[in-house]
Amino acid sequence: MEYNEAKEKFINAWGSLATQWGINRAMAQIHALLLISTQPLCVEDIMEELQISRGNVSMNLRQLMDWGIVYKDVKFGERREYFNTQKDIQELARIIVTERSKREIQPTIRLLQEVSSIKGNGSPESNEFKKITSEMYEMAKAADDIVNKVVTQKSNWLTSLLIKILR
């Protein structure tokens, strides 16, 4: 496979995979492009490469910045804004895991906490409901604990997790 072919394949496939993860295609593609780029890119560059509109690029760059994985990179003497991404893959993954936990596990925990703590009316249905949602709540908290512990260990978090699991 040629470099150009591989690059195109990577960006396209990454976009498709992302939709499965509940992340939108353009956002994933923009991020993929910044990741493999040798220098920061401006909005025009991204529009050009991915053949998408200015508005789309602007909105998705904002989202990527909200996620904390893309930064504005000011060039001296240049008017235009350039964008760059976290290139350290371990650190990138750490940020993404932290962020997804904040956006997905935490609301789930709140919901389960709330519904599992209802008074209940003693009916079998109400008892089963409390039982199952409480178990789910405990489980979600355990998952959250694990993520937090793993993720606050800055460098090489993945490798050291692997080592812990293997022994």
Partner DNA sequence: TAAAAGTTTCAGAAATATTTGAAATATAAT
Partner DNA sequence: ATTATATTTCAAATATTTCTGAAACTTTTA
154 binds, among DNA, a second copy, none (CB under 5 to 8 A by kind): none
Q: Is 71 helix (H, G, I), strand (E, B) or coil?
A: strand
User: In this complex, which beta carbon is closest to a second copy, that of residue 56 or of residue 90?
Assistant: 90
State the Cα angle at 130 between 128 and 131, rounded to 5°.
Answer: 60
Q: Please say which residue, 27 or 112, places its beta carbon nearer to DNA.
A: 27
Question: Applying CB under 7 A, does 79 fall inside the site for DNA?
Answer: yes
* Token pair in block for residue 113: 């906490």
The C-alpha atoms of residue 143 and residue 106 are separated, in whole angstroms, by 10
Neighbours of 41 (CB within 10 A): 22
Length of the chain: 167
* Chosen from DNA, a second copy, none, partner binding at 75 (C-beta under 5 to 8 Å by type): none
Cβ-proximal residues to 147 (8 Å cutoff; 6+ apart), any chain: 97, 98, 101, 105
Summarize as ranges the residues that interact with a second copy (CB under 8 A): 1-3, 6-7, 9-10, 13-14, 17, 19-22, 35-38, 87, 89-90, 93, 103-104, 107-108, 111, 114-115, 118-121, 123-126, 128-129, 132-133, 135-136, 139, 142-143, 145-146, 149-150, 158-159, 161-162, 164-166
Q: Which does 133 bind (CB under 5 to 8 A by kind): a second copy, DNA, none?
A: a second copy
